[in-house]
Amino acid sequence: MAELLAGFGCFTHAVVRAVPRSLATQALRSGNLEVDPLKVQQEQEDYVSVLRQRLGLEVIELPADETLPDCVFVEDAAVVCENTALITRPGAKSRRGETEAMKRALTELDLNIVEMTDETATLDGGDVLFTGREFFVGLSKRTNQKGAEILADTFKDYAVSTVPVQQGLHLKSCCTMAGPDLIAIGSSEAAQKALKIMQQMSDHKYDKLTLPDDLAANCIYMNLPNKGHVLLHCTPEEFPESAKVFEKLKDHMLIPVSNQEKGKVDGALTCCSVLINKKSKI
């Protein structure tokens, strides 16, 4: 297990998807804020540029599909751990077609593909938090117990615990990993309750980074050659108080990434990529 942990946050590839024009008007959303189509395109271009140019990942960019307004949020279509990819069955029926392009891309990367075929199961990748030691799966409007069981069957080397999601779309709408053994968590009562359940379920004691804003707790941690600990997080424009908290992480290369427009349709930073660590074949 120690060896697996040593590779936590190591990634070589990222799968992303272009933003369809239909996102602005037709994407699912809990609020009714207007999305600026040009700004959302710019945000996604900046996000991809950080992954490709700044961090040197090999980025596979899938084309947008106008019939799938939410398709930019690729995280929900697959859960990848080591060499295995679980192709999910998203909780929203309108999103189920998103898994096809993802399955093709991950097959081309030579991953072991497991498909979720049980029609009673639902799972969104946004509900799956992998800590490097274990999985926590949020039971939400989009993910059910059966989906969590299939994930546990797929990744048998790891413990899988379920956490009820009481507010927000997904478990990762209020918590993610901000480093090895470090959970970024929002301050709301629901977020703190979720953290308490995770702490009770786990044999391991995690450190926590508490942020004033739940949505700011969605950040992307990587451990990259020549760069060390890297963290993509909210911008000071979006969440000024939370951005100050991230600045306390002196060992991390901190990269603020704007998510203002995608946030209007419940998207977060982790939603827009599936990160993969491909070991080169000798």
Strands laid side by side in the 274-276 sheet: 58-62, 13-17, 274-276
d(CA 175, CA 222): 16
Annotated active-site residue 271? The verdict is: yes
Q: 3-class SS at 282?
A: coil
d(CA 194, CA 174): 9
Active-site residue, from 71, 219, 271, 272:
271
Q: Where are the alpha helices (DSSP H) in 124-167?
A: 145-154
d(CA 95, CA 67): 10
Annotated active-site residue 234? The verdict is: no
One-letter amino acid of 6:
A
One-letter amino acid of 202:
S
CA angle 180, 185, 190 (to 5 degrees): 145
85 forms beta bridges with 80, 113
Active-site residue, from 13, 170, 233, 252:
170
For the annotated catalytic residues, the residue numbers are: 170, 271
